[in-house]
Structure 1
């Protein structure tokens, strides 16, 4: 199959070293394997990103034994064994990406121009064009596309690249590399992988043609500033016939240009150009400068790579370098011919840990919510039990109160009888005790008389009872509605002291200041000293008798 002419507007044609630091900071640490597979060999390259550098961490060749022509055994058997050798020989980490090549002649390309529509509308238009442009049933092929030019105000169309390969060819490749299926990131056409490497690492000046010649075919990549063109030539020898095909391709490309152009450089790579005679054949046939791919500018060797082996075999590894760069995420062309069902499986596998983590978080959330609800429920149940207990206690207290109230009603008569007992009975003992404590030693008492009378019934004639003092109203612990009473007392005594002053100081004043029941107010209303003489007193009794 031939790869037709198309134009692209690469965002980056020549990577500058000073731009790499910014690229690495954006992309983070990554590692990828590029496997360039054909019927004779597997060329392996591993690129890792360390800090702000890209390092070639592994470069090797796994030979595939060639079958004799008389045998009927499929060469796929040896390819499977070589892939298994790679898988067991090298440690492929969980996050490593593996990108595998498919020969350029196995890929059909079509390039279309569509109106400058919004990005979300591109896929629908491309799907329609794929059915029109690709001469196979879409069920029998695997295809992918890439938008090659951006939508701008000065462009009337957007260029799209369509790439397709027969599903049977890819399925056979997948069978051969089945041990790598779980790690497989992409399948890429070998000439597109070479283009990715040249754009990233090589300095291209002017119109340049890249010739990659291997044992079964030769790939041409023409780079012209912002455009490039591809063609695969099924030639296994570098001879005059191949030279004629290359010259025809170069002339065809110049015929597509609107203005005259001259090729300035030819870059040679591939196993065929390890022989100096093949290099001389190209050099003699073309007038432009001929260079051999033998150095890398933006990729460095790690300490684990044999520099002698690298320098001797770098000519063969251009496709493998480009494949690994695509795995890192630095390839200009990101076409992936891996069947969509496998891409979906890989995406699901990639998202599975996050899905499991999300489910775990959701389960924890539910568990915490359930725990909170369970704790709240237990708290409510305990609160309900507590309040039920308090309510029961209140009911018991209410019952006790009602019982006590009923008992009080039943015993009301008895309580009334008890409360009716004259409370003034406590007054006289208190008064007598206090009076006796006040009398000095040289004063002797001869007689004490006392009378309880109603306050309103007392009528004095101005005379006092012989030998008695008129007392002050005494405070008694009576009921609020009880009749107010007075304790009328008369005290007769003698003093050995001849003067009245002694009696006044030691008898009269203490009695006047006497308090009862720890009260602060004097108990007697009136206290007087009466000399020994006859006194008259009357009291108005309840019946009016004197």
Structure 2
């Protein structure tokens, strides 16, 4: 459990879920103590799996940060909420609140009793006042909030991503006088945030990373997850034909496809800028800042600078935030532009947020009201009990009346018990559905994870004098075991008919399996926990190159470095094996041979169950 002075924030994006752990500094600022991020599948065709994925992601992040029963303030993506900026005449504060309630009923495109909404008075020039209205369907908010509370966390403030980003920008870049545009490129939507002094205007447009991936999937007729992998591994934004002419044909075609997908965004930005100037009296931006996961695409900054004809730089929400000693500085520097929502939500806890929208779910609001009323209820209960005691002592005849009232209450309780059994049946049914849903989500995670492993091998294990001839996943591999690990893929895979799985069937009759899966024990599926890489090397120093590639592969990737217990001394100690100790590599070329062989077995950081 985190320290009571800690600030826990969560950002629930369309493709990325991130969580941060902050603390207050002595000067009243913030210190980032730790943070973790994880991805979820943003495939529009798999929308039904989004909430189970969010639930698993939040639980995984809370576990990594060591959180349990902590209060968390979180932000939800701009695509989930309705936002409207409304101009109002100058009124007294009491009349203003009534007018805002009336305007909310007029502007929110849902029945007002079905939404959770909030508003904030903003800075505005002239004789009019400007407020921002934010609303979300109550059912949608409850589903997201359940994903948070199911992990053991407690709900604090509920903000929106655009407002959190606006607060983070104002806190870190409040000294900029001219109008700035912050472009937050998300998966499903992109947020356009205009900041002019202390004025804020936002709009969400339905263009993001998922649209680019869908365009690649359609252009090359490949599954969405493969298109996403290609975008992340080889994608960049083409600037012009001269730029693509210097690339190979496949890379140039991919870059042109990405540019075509992004071409709609500058037009939407121009349209929003015109609306902001004409309807809200704002000024055109003179600087552009990029944020969000979509801004990781190479040359995307050059693309916007070319299209908007404005200077472009990456948003740094940690400009005025201290970073704890436990954080990898290089890592956080590379990912800083994706942490704006976490910082913006955390600023609310130190009263440094200009816009404070709170879309608190009804169940949480009820708990807050109950907490506020609790001292009065306890006092009232004490007075009531004292009165009953006095009446009882002064007039014992009223005891019979109390028994009659108690009987009435008991009968009412018995009537309510009739509803208990159907509710319990529904809870059990929900648990069964959740179990199947979790299995489906885990299968999606395994599919994506294996593609990431292959990408790791492709990007880190490559050299002009080293060839990989075979990559085999292994089952239940153990370091130093005399028993060889079993390959997960059948030896006759190449000869199998279409539709027949090439993965081996688990051997359920072996003694080891039966010992692990006796009656009254849970089934333990075999796991793919290592990869065996075979290949050839040539040229001077080729053997050492293989070892260097192994070191590169086991540093900050999906593979573990190997450790063994050394019992040669007086006390057993654990030491890390060198690359040459767990790779079988011919150290010299034999006369007349073109190349020499090598075999490397490396464990996976996250084993995959063989199902």
TM-score interval, smaller chain: 0.5 to 0.7
Note the alpha carbon deviations across 1:411-435, whole angstroms, 9 max, x for none: xxxxxxxxxxxxxxxxxxxxxxxxx
Tell me which of 266, 270, 273 is aligned to 1:243: 266
Tell me which of 171, 177, 198 is aligned to 2:169: 198
What TM-score, normalized by structure 2, do the two folds share?
Answer: 0.49
What is the root-mean-square deviation of aligned Cα atoms in Å? 3.3
Corresponding residue number in structure 2 for 1:392: none
The Cα shift of 1:180 comes to 5.5
Corresponding residue number in structure 1 for 2:19: 44
Alignment of 1:94-173 (within 5 A): 97-149=71-123, 156-173=127-144
Note the alpha carbon deviations across 1:336-360, whole angstroms, 9 max, x for none: 11224422313534775x6699799
Q: 2:40 aligned with 1:64, yes or no?
A: yes
The Cα shift of 1:262 comes to 4.7
Asked whether the equivalents of residues 62 and 68 of structure 2 are also in contact (C-alpha less than 8 Å), the reply is: no
**SS of the counterpart of 2:54?**
helix
Asked whether the equivalents of residues 9 and 72 of structure 2 are also in contact (C-alpha less than 8 Å), the reply is: yes
Corresponding residue number in structure 2 for 1:301: 323
Change (3 A) 1:181 1:329: farther
Corresponding residue number in structure 1 for 2:149: 178
What TM-score, normalized by structure 1, do the two folds share?
Answer: 0.54
How many residues align? The count is 331
Note the alpha carbon deviations across 1:191-216, whole angstroms, 9 max, x for none: 11100101111243302111010222
Note the alpha carbon deviations across 1:220-243, whole angstroms, 9 max, x for none: 011122423211111124621112
Asked whether the equivalents of residues 162 and 193 of structure 2 are also in contact (C-alpha less than 8 Å), the reply is: yes
Rounded to whole Å, the distance in 1 between the matches of 2:294 and 2:181 is: 16
Tell me which of 343, 357, 366 is aligned to 1:335: 357
Change (3 A) 1:180 1:115: farther
Alignment of 1:494-505 (within 5 A): none
Corresponding residue number in structure 2 for 1:208: 180
Asked whether the equivalents of residues 31 and 327 of structure 1 are also in contact (C-alpha less than 8 Å), the reply is: no
Asked whether the equivalents of residues 31 and 328 of structure 1 are also in contact (C-alpha less than 8 Å), the reply is: no
Corresponding residue number in structure 1 for 2:276: 253
Corresponding residue number in structure 2 for 1:15: none
Change (3 A) 1:263 1:89: closer
Q: 2:195 aligned with 1:223, yes or no?
A: yes
**SS of the counterpart of 2:354?**
coil
Q: 2:165 aligned with 1:189, yes or no?
A: no
The Cα shift of 1:73 comes to 6.0
Rounded to whole Å, the distance in 1 between the matches of 2:38 and 2:48 is: 20
The Cα shift of 1:304 comes to 2.2
Rounded to whole Å, the distance in 1 between the matches of 2:272 and 2:89 is: 30
**SS of the counterpart of 1:196?**
helix
Note the alpha carbon deviations across 1:74-130, whole angstroms, 9 max, x for none: 232222111222233334477x64222222122222333445444344333322232
**SS of the counterpart of 1:144?**
strand
The Cα shift of 1:219 comes to 0.6
Asked whether the equivalents of residues 32 and 325 of structure 1 are also in contact (C-alpha less than 8 Å), the reply is: no
Note the alpha carbon deviations across 1:395-424, whole angstroms, 9 max, x for none: xxxxxxxxxxxxxxxxxxxxxxxxxxxxxx
Corresponding residue number in structure 1 for 2:370: 348
Rounded to whole Å, the distance in 2 between the matches of 1:272 and 1:84 is: 25
**SS of the counterpart of 1:135?**
coil
Note the alpha carbon deviations across 1:350-396, whole angstroms, 9 max, x for none: 775x6699799x79xx9xxx9xxxxxxxxxxxxxxxxxxxxxxxxxx
**SS of the counterpart of 1:184?**
strand
Corresponding residue number in structure 2 for 1:287: 309
Q: 2:52 aligned with 1:80, yes or no?
A: no
Asked whether the equivalents of residues 18 and 61 of structure 2 are also in contact (C-alpha less than 8 Å), the reply is: no
Tell me which of 276, 280, 289 is aligned to 2:298: 276
Change (3 A) 1:279 1:55: same
Rounded to whole Å, the distance in 2 between the matches of 1:240 and 1:100 is: 32
Asked whether the equivalents of residues 33 and 327 of structure 1 are also in contact (C-alpha less than 8 Å), the reply is: no
The Cα shift of 1:314 comes to 0.8
Change (3 A) 1:342 1:257: closer
Change (3 A) 1:124 1:292: same
Corresponding residue number in structure 2 for 1:10: none
**SS of the counterpart of 2:271?**
helix
Q: Which has the larger radius of gyration?
A: 1
**SS of the counterpart of 2:150?**
helix
Gaps of 5+ in 2: 213-258, 391-611
**SS of the counterpart of 2:309?**
coil
Gaps of 5+ in 1: 1-28, 371-546
**SS of the counterpart of 1:263?**
coil
Rounded to whole Å, the distance in 2 between the matches of 1:108 and 1:224 is: 22
Rounded to whole Å, the distance in 1 between the matches of 2:171 and 2:161 is: 16
Note the alpha carbon deviations across 1:131-162, whole angstroms, 9 max, x for none: 22323211211111122259xxx975433322
Asked whether the equivalents of residues 294 and 314 of structure 1 are also in contact (C-alpha less than 8 Å), the reply is: yes
Rounded to whole Å, the distance in 1 between the matches of 2:342 and 2:349 is: 11
